[in-house]
């Protein structure tokens, strides 16, 4: 009689030879799954050593400045020429939001903060010589404010044409991995639209350099960059350096050029 | 084929099926995570969850899609088909974890509703390399959700098998969406040819097994064109006892069963999910569908009481050791005298 091993699912048990066949099939899938797990992991890119000290609050004291972007400048002492050196700590809020709003709220109760020595509590983010403080508790990050004086050094670099990718510094320098490129694009766009200052990551001749991005005349730009965030682009503008951060002021947003990627067709540049 | 719908009828076979599935899933997730942590210690917990669930559910989808053709190529795979809905629902849940974690990480805590953000955070819909790939994942997840939510036989009955089947054919659309989700998303950054190769391998397997099963199917079903009312099909001995021969005559898909010295012909298409009744078997005097075990009486095409499914029946006769069938169908559930050998 044919079909001796006909399977009927609502009976409590399947015929023996069928059971044997199926359990062999299940055993066979194990090595296949292992091969997939191993190769999927081993053939992805490594994750960078950037750090977000999640769950661990630190207090940072430094001179507050809003220019070019909100940051605390922690004095490191004087250099050979007797000029004050600073380590800048970019300020960002909890979530995908810039620090401006919370700082203004603190000012509403404690008076103007610009140029004063401010102590904030938050979560540190750092990588590649740059650091940020997430004001995890927003305006409640405030610890104290004292008098102080800021002696920033500004150096003009001049007109530059740079190639790289606009990243949101919060994710790039620690919160997410990967915190750049296509998979992360939407998140970077949300962060920058939320007021986190855009950073241009320039990769040229094997070295990596970072620029804060501003519009003509030092105007803050966020959503204007929406359609090119996390893409390879070239930017043209005036560059200068304030203490340990370089800045590029883009003269003309419509001059931003997309650089072709991986041979896939490029769309015409979206108008801003 | 229940008239009352129990949530799910559990028995030992189903439990073993689910247990095997869960163990395989745990083996995958544990291996993936362990190797990640050893070779990429800098990975974040979020990325680990997003990547492990994404790849696991994608692999599960491949298995789901391959089971269909596999069980047509070799009947011994049929038990995997029988309980495939468990695999489908579980796959949806795993993909859901991936989707929710991605939405939370990439879109939450911003100024815009996360769902809206999926569609608006990247405006490059006209681009290929910059296309907002997450929207493709979103629609795939939506399809998987609809399928998981309607997987129970209650919905099969209430949506009508035709609509249900159409809905569940969308799994191929979901698969295509996920392939594009991966190609336009993570593969724009992770450029190793091994990763592309693995995905192409998966695609070739799915297409290959479907083609293979299709060719076998074509060979199995003899096609006749009819001029007279009764058509000579084959010798009686060519049909195994308690089994059927499937023929297509005048576009009628007919299963001719031989049992207890008799021959009967009913429509080959199961009322449940269009399973091939002719690849089933007579069990306790009933034709039993190989896919999920729905049963029909050979002499009238009706499911035994209390069930109510009915298929069309056909006149048969046996002369000089040959089986003849009349391809003009009787209305569903019409009693037809079996031919005696
Ligand atoms: C709301 C729905 C979804 C969203 C928002 C979403 C988002 C994402 C994101 C952001 C990535 C890149 C993550 C990374 O850098 O690794 C990704 C990758 C991926 N997604 Fe989805 N996805 C969704 C639905 C799905 C569904 C339904 C599947 C089905 C299996 C899926 C499968 C994958 C796969 C296989 C990858 C590549 C592996 C990885 O990078 O994690 N996604 N998805
Ligand atoms: S198709 Fe499900 S029992 Fe026939």
For residue B303, give the DSSP letter.
P
Give yes or no for residue B197 having a pLDDT over 70: yes
Does the beta carbon of B5 lie inside 6 Å of ligand 1? no
Which ligand has an atom closest to residue B52 CA?
1
Q: Are residues B265 and B156 in the same domain?
A: no
Q: Are residues B279 and B298 in the same domain?
A: yes
Q: Can you list the positions of beta strands (E) in chain B?
A: 222-224, 231-235, 244-249, 252-259, 262-267, 281-283, 286-288, 295-296, 313-319, 322-330, 339-340
Is A227–B124 a contact, with Cβ atoms under 8 angstroms apart?
yes
Q: Is B78 on the interface with A (CB under 8 A)?
A: yes
Mean pLDDT of B331-336: 93
Encode burial over B247-277: b for 16+ CB neighbours within 10 A, e otherwise: bebeebbbbbbbbeebbbbbbbbbbbbbbbb
Q: How far is it, in rounded angstroms, from Cα B264 to Cα B252?
A: 15
Give the total residue count for chain B: 341
**Inside any domain, residue B196:** yes
pLDDT tens column, B116-137 = 999 999 988 988 888 999 999 9
Encode burial over B18-39: b for 16+ CB neighbours within 10 A, e otherwise: eebbeebbeebbebbbebbeee
The number of the ligand 1 atom at minimal distance from the alpha carbon of B57 is 30
Tell me which residues of chain A, numbers 156 to 175, contact chain B at a CB-CB cutoff of 8 Å. Answer: none
Q: How far is it, in rounded angstroms, from Cα A105 to Cα A138?
A: 9
Q: Are residues B187 and B330 in the same domain?
A: no
Q: Are residues B77 and B190 in the same domain?
A: yes
In three-state form (DSSP H/G/I as H, E/B as E, the rest C), the secondary structure along chain A is CCCCCCCCCCCCCCCHHHHHHHHHHHHHHHHHHHHHHHHHHHCCCCCCCCEECCCCCEEEEEEEECCCCCEEEEEEEECCCCCEEEEEEEEEECCCCECHHHHHHHHHHHCCCCCCEEEEEEEEEEECCEEEEEECCHHHHEEEEECCCCCCCEEEEEEEEEEEEEECHHHHHHHCCCCCCHHHHHHHHHHHHCCCCCEEEEEECCEEEEEEEECHHHCCCCHHHHHHCCCEEEEEEEEEEECCEEEEEECCHHHCEECCCCCCCCCCCCCC
Does the beta carbon of B102 lie inside 6 Å of ligand 1? yes
Q: Tell me, what's the pLDDT at B111? A: 86
For residue B186, give the DSSP letter.
G
Tell me which residues of chain B, numbers 199 to 238, contact chain A at a CB-CB cutoff of 8 Å. Answer: none
On the question of a cis peptide bond just before residue A78, with omega within 30 degrees of 0, the verdict is no
Which ligand has an atom closest to residue B280 CA?
2
Q: Which of B219, B247, B268 is the last residue of a domain?
A: B219
**Inside any domain, residue B7:** no
Kind and range of the H or E element at B120? helix B114-120
Least CB–CB distance from B194: residue in A39, A52, A94: A39
How many A from CA of B336 to the centre of ligand 2? 23
Q: Where in chain A is the domain with CATH 2.40.50?
A: 51-146, 154-258
Q: Are residues B166 and B305 in the same domain?
A: no
Q: In this predicted model, which residue has the larger pLDDT, B322 or A15? A: B322
Q: Tell me, what's the pLDDT at A92? A: 97
Specify whether the CB–CB gap between B264 and B256 falls below 8 A: yes
| Range of the structural domain that residue B38 is part of | 12-219
Contact list in B for residue A174 (CB cut-off 8 A) is: none
Q: Tell me, what's the pLDDT at B10? A: 61
Q: Are strands B252-259 and A142-146 parallel, antiparallel or unpaired?
A: unpaired
CATH architecture designation of domain A51-146? Beta Barrel (2.40)
pLDDT tens column, B4-40 = 444 445 677 788 889 999 999 999 999 999 999 999 9
Q: Are residues B268 and B231 in the same domain?
A: yes
**Inside any domain, residue B1:** no
Is A176–B122 a contact, with Cβ atoms under 8 angstroms apart?
no
Which ligand has an atom closest to residue B274 CA?
2
Q: Is A89 on the interface with B (CB under 8 A)?
A: no
- Of A64, A79, A193, A177, the closest CA to residue A120 belongs to A64
Q: How far is it, in rounded angstroms, from Cα A167 to Cα A192?
A: 8
Is B12–A189 a contact, with Cβ atoms under 8 angstroms apart?
no
Q: Which of B189, B204, B219 is the last residue of a domain?
A: B219
Pocket test for ligand 1, best of B54, B56, B104, B172 (most atoms within 8 A of CB): B54
Domain harbouring B263, CATH code: 2.102.10.10
Token pair of A216 as six digits: 């003509």
Q: Are strands A117-127 and A58-65 parallel, antiparallel or unpaired?
A: antiparallel
Q: Tell me, what's the pLDDT at A227? A: 85
Terminal-to-terminal C-alpha distance of chain A = 76
Token pair of B75 as six digits: 């009947």
Nearest CA in chain B to A265: B128
Least CB–CB distance from A41: residue in B39, B127, B188: B39
Does the beta carbon of B272 lie inside 6 Å of ligand 2? yes
**Global confidence as pTM:** 0.86
Total domains in the fold of chain B:
2
Q: Are residues B263 and B184 in the same domain?
A: no
CA-atom Rg of chain A in angstroms: 26
Q: Which ipTM was obtained for this model?
A: 0.87
Specify whether the CB–CB gap between B338 and B263 falls below 8 A: yes
Pocket test for ligand 1, best of B132, B137, B192 (most atoms within 8 A of CB): B137
**Inside any domain, residue B307:** yes
Does the beta carbon of B269 lie inside 6 Å of ligand 2? no
The number of the ligand 2 atom at minimal distance from the alpha carbon of B1 is 3
Compute φ and ψ for A147, nearest 5 degrees: -65, 165
Q: Tell me, what's the pLDDT at B228? A: 65
Q: Are residues B28 and B66 in the same domain?
A: yes
Give yes or no for residue B211 having a pLDDT over 50: yes
For residue B282, give the DSSP letter.
E
Specify whether the CB–CB gap between A38 and B279 falls below 8 A: no
Compute φ and ψ for A88, nearest 5 degrees: -85, 140
How many A from CA of B137 to the centre of ligand 1? 6
Q: Across-strand partners of A130?
A: A127
Q: How far is it, in rounded angstroms, from Cα A231 to Cα B302?
A: 63
CB atoms within 10 A of CB B206: 19
Q: How far is it, in rounded angstroms, from Cα B160 to Cα A151?
A: 77
Compute φ and ψ for B165, nearest 5 degrees: -60, -40
Interface probe for B, chosen from A33, A126, A263 (most Cβ of B below 10 Å), is: A33
Least CB–CB distance from B107: residue in A26, A178, A186: A186
Q: Across-strand partners of B262?
A: B259, B340
Q: What is the mean pLDDT of chain A?
A: 89
Is A6–B281 a contact, with Cβ atoms under 8 angstroms apart?
yes
Q: Are residues B128 and B160 in the same domain?
A: yes
Q: Are residues B172 and B230 in the same domain?
A: no
Nearest CA to ligand 2 atom 2: B292
Is B28–A37 a contact, with Cβ atoms under 8 angstroms apart?
yes
The pLDDT-based confidence of B3 (bands split at 50, 70, 90) is very low
Is A42–B292 a contact, with Cβ atoms under 8 angstroms apart?
no
Give the count of alpha carbons within 13 A of A251, CB side only: 10
Q: How far is it, in rounded angstroms, from Cα B130 to Cα B110?
A: 22
Pocket test for ligand 1, best of A183, A186, A187 (most atoms within 8 A of CB): A183
Least CB–CB distance from B42: residue in A29, A49, A96: A49
Q: Is A28 on the interface with B (CB under 8 A)?
A: no
Is B189–A11 a contact, with Cβ atoms under 8 angstroms apart?
no
How many A from CA of B142 to the centre of ligand 2? 26
For residue B310, give the DSSP letter.
B
Residues 6+ positions from B98 with CB-CB distance below 8 Å: B49, B50, B53, B54, B57
The pLDDT-based confidence of A261 (bands split at 50, 70, 90) is low
Q: Are residues B174 and B298 in the same domain?
A: no
Tell me which residues of chain B, numbers 39 to 58, contact chain A at a CB-CB cutoff of 8 Å. Answer: 39-40, 42-44, 46-47, 51, 55
Q: In this predicted model, which residue has the larger pLDDT, A200 or B128? A: A200
Q: Are residues B178 and B256 in the same domain?
A: no
Q: Is B253 on the interface with A (CB under 8 A)?
A: no
Choice among A164-168, B67-71, B140-144, B228-232 with the minimum mean pLDDT: B228-232
Q: How far is it, in rounded angstroms, from Cα A175 to Cα A177?
A: 7
Q: Which of B187, B219, B251 is the last residue of a domain?
A: B219
Q: Tell me, what's the pLDDT at B5? A: 47
% of chain B with per-residue pLDDT over 90: 66
Q: Tell me, what's the pLDDT at A55? A: 92
Token pair of A82 as six digits: 């007797």
Does domain A154-258 bear CATH number 1.20.950? no
Specify whether the CB–CB gap between B295 and B286 falls below 8 A: yes
Give yes or no for residue B335 having a pLDDT over 60: yes
Specify whether the CB–CB gap between A113 and A181 falls below 8 A: no
pLDDT tens column, B135-161 = 999 999 999 999 999 888 778 778 877
């Amino acid at each position: 009689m044919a079909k001796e091993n006909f399977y009927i699912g609502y009976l409590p048990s399947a015929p023996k030879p069928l059971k044997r066949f199926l359990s062999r099939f299940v055993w066979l899938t194990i090595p296949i799954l292992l091969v997939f797990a191993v190769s999927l992991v081993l053939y992805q890119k490594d994750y960078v050593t950037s750090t977000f000290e999640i769950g661990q609050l630190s207090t940072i004291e430094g001179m507050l400045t809003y220019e070019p972007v909100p940051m605390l400048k922690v004095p490191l002492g004087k250099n050979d020429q007797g000029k004050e050196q600073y380590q800048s700590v970019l300020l960002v809020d909890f979530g995908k939001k810039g620090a401006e709003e919370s700082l203004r709220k603190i000012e509403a109760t404690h008076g103007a903060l610009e140029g004063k020595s401010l102590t904030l509590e938050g979560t540190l983010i750092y990588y590649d010589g740059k650091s940020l403080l997430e004001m995890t508790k927003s305006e409640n990050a405030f610890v104290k404010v004292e008098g102080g004086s800021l002696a920033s050094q500004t150096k003009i670099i001049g007109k530059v044409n740079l190639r790289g990718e606009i990243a949101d510094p919060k994710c790039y320098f620690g919160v997410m991995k990967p915190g750049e490129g296509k998979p992360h694009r939407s998140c970077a766009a949300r962060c920058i639209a939320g007021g986190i200052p855009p950073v241009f990551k320039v990769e040229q001749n094997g070295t990596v350099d970072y620029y804060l991005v501003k519009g003509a005349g030092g105007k803050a730009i966020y959503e204007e960059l929406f359609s090119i965030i996390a893409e390879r682009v070239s930017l043209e503008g005036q560059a200068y350096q304030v203490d340990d951060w370089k800045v590029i002021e883009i003269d003309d947003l419509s001059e931003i050029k997309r650089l072709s990627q991986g041979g896939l067709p490029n769309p015409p540049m979206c108008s801003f | 084929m229940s008239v009352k719908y129990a949530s799910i009828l559990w028995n030992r076979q189903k439990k073993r099926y689910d247990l095997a599935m869960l163990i395989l899933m745990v083996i995958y997730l544990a291996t993936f995570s362990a190797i990640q942590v050893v070779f990429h210690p800098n990975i974040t917990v979020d990325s680990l969850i997003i990547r492990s669930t994404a790849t696991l559910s994608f692999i599960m989808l491949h298995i789901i899609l391959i089971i269909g053709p596999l069980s047509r190529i070799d009947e011994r795979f049929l038990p995997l088909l029988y309980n495939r809905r468990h695999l489908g629902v579980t796959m949806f849940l795993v993909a859901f974890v991936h989707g929710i974690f991605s939405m939370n990480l990439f879109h939450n805590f911003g100024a815009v509703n996360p769902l809206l953000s999926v569609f608006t955070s990247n405006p490059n819909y006209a681009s290929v390399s910059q296309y907002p790939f997450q929207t493709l994942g979103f629609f795939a997840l939506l399809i998987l959700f609809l399928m998981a939510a309607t997987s129970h036989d209650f919905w099969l009955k209430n949506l009508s098998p035709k609509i249900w089947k159409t809905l569940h054919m969308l799994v191929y659309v979901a698969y295509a969406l996920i392939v594009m989700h991966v190609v336009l998303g993570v593969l724009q950054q992770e450029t190793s040819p091994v990763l592309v190769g693995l995905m192409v391998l998966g695609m070739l397997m799915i297409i290959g097994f479907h083609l293979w099963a299709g060719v076998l199917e074509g060979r199995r079903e003899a096609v006749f064109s009819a001029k007279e009312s009764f058509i000579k099909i084959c010798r009686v001995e060519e049909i195994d006892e308690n089994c059927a021969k499937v023929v297509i005559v005048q576009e009628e898909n007919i299963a001719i069963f031989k049992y207890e010295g008799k021959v009967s012909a009913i429509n080959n298409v199961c009322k449940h999910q269009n399973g091939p009744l002719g690849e089933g078997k007579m069990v306790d005097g009933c034709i039993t569908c190989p896919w999920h075990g729905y049963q029909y009486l050979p002499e009238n095409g009706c499911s035994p009481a209390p069930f109510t499914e009915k298929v069309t029946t056909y006149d048969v006769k046996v002369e000089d050791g040959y089986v003849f069938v009349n391809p003009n169908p009787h209305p569903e559930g019409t009693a037809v005298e079996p031919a005696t050998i």
